[in-house]
Amino acid sequence: MPEGKTYTLEEIIANLDNLRSESCEKSMKRIKLPIPKEYGGGWATGASQEEAIRNLLERVKDQMKPVTEAPSFEKAFNDWLAIKSGQNKSPCTIDNYKRLGRVRLIPFFGQKKVDEITPDDIQLYFNSIIDLSKSYGIQSRSVLRGIFDRAERMNYISANPMRFDYVRPTKTHEKVVLQDDDLVEVIKDLEKLSGPDYLYSCFLCFTALRRGEILGLTWQDLDFESRTITVRNNVIFPDGTNDPIVKSPKDDSFGVVYLNSELLKRIKPYRQVGGYVVGGLRSGSEEPISRSSFTKMWNRIKKTLDLKGATSHSFRATYATMMNAHCLHIDPKALQGALRHKTPDLAIKVYTKSNDSKTRQAEMEYDEWLSSQVKQTS
């Protein structure tokens, strides 16, 4: 093959043997490989020529793979989800993926084939959810990337549209965190509740347990003598179903937490031999509570107590904020352990919010220090 000319892919394929022999003959000479740059063309010297030829063969081989007919986006999504479901993912995570697909992604991309979806189409999708939360955009990007990465591996597409950056939602929803007086008011009003409503609210106020972890607690998980709570179960309602599913918590969430003295005093009269603490029909029931029963219970609690807009998860952030504000020897690792997070950063940056009393105390201390400095200079 004469030098100085760049060949098409078809010509390269037809002359691969000649190209290889030419490379070997000129192994000690610097030559310009007659190959388009996208296939590894350019200058090569000595042994590097042979490596360039090997790389070229691989690229040509990839180009010669039979093209597989691309499926619709809906099918690609369902295939990807089926693979994810078999990777020991949390049912809650899979449920979130299903909901995102059903509510947003499939209605938007629908029956469009994955090889027909362009970067502009994807940006239009993100435009359609621009008023939603930042986390919604992050999850959308994660799911789309997974779908198109698989499409690329399956040779459905030649170029992955998710290699680009897209403008996504940036709104963040601040967690409602009760301040000192608000929390004390809720605790004072707990006596207005009874049965499962009372027990569930007590665990919200005096622990950092998640909703599913409280609903998964059995009386055997509570050790009144050693003052500990063992977190073994997590109750979830996947894909909007009414029937609960009891799963093990994530590895970092499984563990033993402290049984607060106030909590112990309040729940001891309700103590049962076995069964769920917040059961399906009553405390001690052998069946966990259903979604509909929990919804009714939570509505009763909100009607009775002034929660200031707080949700079940808000109490977890409240616990972290209060611990950070009022414990003299608190440190990030202690907060991480109390919340059972993988890293202390999540406990500090996400769950710990400002506390009015601690802020006021800090401002007063700063005022005193500044006044003392001014006096010294006057």
pLDDT over 60 at 359, yes or no? no
pLDDT over 60 at 137, yes or no? yes
Cβ atoms < 10 Å from Cβ of 367: 10
Taking a C-beta distance cutoff of 8 angstroms, is the pair 292, 159 a contact?
A: no
**Residue of 250, 244, 258 whose CA lies nearest to 232:** 250
Taking a C-beta distance cutoff of 8 angstroms, is the pair 12, 35 a contact?
A: yes
**The residue type at 309:** G
Strands 255-258 and 245-247: unpaired
Taking a C-beta distance cutoff of 8 angstroms, is the pair 228, 216 a contact?
A: no
Cβ burial 331-366 (10 Å sphere, 16+ → b, else e) = eeeebbebbbbeebeebbeebbbebeeeeeeeeeee
Q: In what order do the strands lie in the sheet with 228-231?
A: 222-223, 228-231, 255-258
pLDDT band at 364 (very low <50, low <70, confident <90, very high): low
Query: What pLDDT was estimated at residue 347?
Result: 47
Lowest mean pLDDT segment, chosen from 67-71, 199-203, 219-223: 67-71
Question: Strand pairing partners for 164?
Answer: none
**Residue of 236, 229, 207 whose CA lies nearest to 317:** 207
Query: What pLDDT was estimated at residue 94?
Result: 84
Rounded distance, CA 240 to CA 335, Å? 32
pLDDT in tens, 16-64: 556 555 555 555 455 565 555 555 555 555 555 566 666 666 666 665 5
Mean pLDDT across 223-235: 90
**The residue type at 55:** N
Position with higher pLDDT, 82 vs 176? 82
DSSP 214-282: HHT-BGGGEETTTTEEEE--EEE-GGG-SS-EEEPPPTTT-EEEE--HHHHHHHGGG--SSSBTTBSSS
CA distances from 158 to 58, 64, 104, 140, 148 (A): 16, 12, 25, 22, 10
pLDDT over 60 at 378, yes or no? no
pTM: 0.61
User: Which domains, and CATH codes, for the chain?
Assistant: 9-63 (no CATH), 73-163 (1.10.150.130), 180-351 (1.10.443.10)
DSSP single-letter state for residue 348: I
Query: Tokens at residue 75, please?
Result: 């099918």
Taking a C-beta distance cutoff of 8 angstroms, is the pair 301, 197 a contact?
A: yes
pLDDT in tens, 77-113: 999 999 988 776 677 788 889 999 999 999 999 889 9
Cβ atoms < 10 Å from Cβ of 216: 26
